[in-house]
Amino acid sequence: MVKEATIWSLLEEVNDPEVPVLSILDLGIVRDVKREGSRVEVIITPTYSGCPAMDVLRMNIRMLLLQHGYTEVVITTVLSPAWTTDWMSEKGKEKLQAYGIAPPLPVQQVCHPGLFHREEAIQCPRCHSYHTQRISEFGSTACKALYRCEDCKEPFDYFKCH
């Protein structure tokens, strides 16, 4: 008999294909794991509605569990409550920073549609300066914004609060 905790620890091995330093547990997208007999159900929630990584993630979760002998795997997607960067682990934030992506601010800010809204300063993941500028709030993936550091002059990605 396997415990749910075993499955949780296996899921730690599934990484986000677009931000490979983060596991799906770091991201906070695994909401629950249920086991009944030989049946394993993994409940996940997408980061963004159109995130193309989700299909790959679902497949990778299934493959991993199959490899470990779980033949009856159900992956359920739930939308509510909607994913938030608040669910990202502290360890995940450290990994992002080391990888060169500024992690979401510790104080959760949700995008509100106010005009020319100014956000809190984002720290450059390379030189740690706060003298940075947002170039675009849409970046290389749905979850990131484009920034530039005015001190070291390097562009960088910011994993935006959501």
Give me the residues that bind another protein (CB under 8 A), please. 46, 48-52, 78-83, 110-117, 135-140, 142, 146, 162
- DSSP symbols for 72-137: EEEEEE--SSPP-GGGS-HHHHHHHHHHTEEPPPSS-------TTPPPPP---TTT--S-EEEEES
Nearest partner of 141 among 19, 57, 34, 1, judged by Cα: 19
Which CB sits closer to another protein, 49 or 71?
A: 49
Minimum distance, C-beta of residue 139 to another protein, in the bound complex (Å): 7
Minimum distance, C-beta of residue 117 to another protein, in the bound complex (Å): 7
Minimum distance, C-beta of residue 136 to another protein, in the bound complex (Å): 4
Within 10 Å of residue 6's Cβ, how many Cβ atoms? 14
Minimum distance, C-beta of residue 82 to another protein, in the bound complex (Å): 5
Which CB sits closer to another protein, 107 or 110?
A: 110
Within 10 Å of residue 28's Cβ, how many Cβ atoms? 18
Minimum distance, C-beta of residue 55 to another protein, in the bound complex (Å): 10
Which CB sits closer to another protein, 95 or 162?
A: 162
**Residue 56 φ/ψ region, left for φ over 0, alpha for ψ in the -120 to 50 degree band, beta for the rest:** alpha
Which CB sits closer to another protein, 71 or 136?
A: 136
Which CB sits closer to another protein, 6 or 84?
A: 84
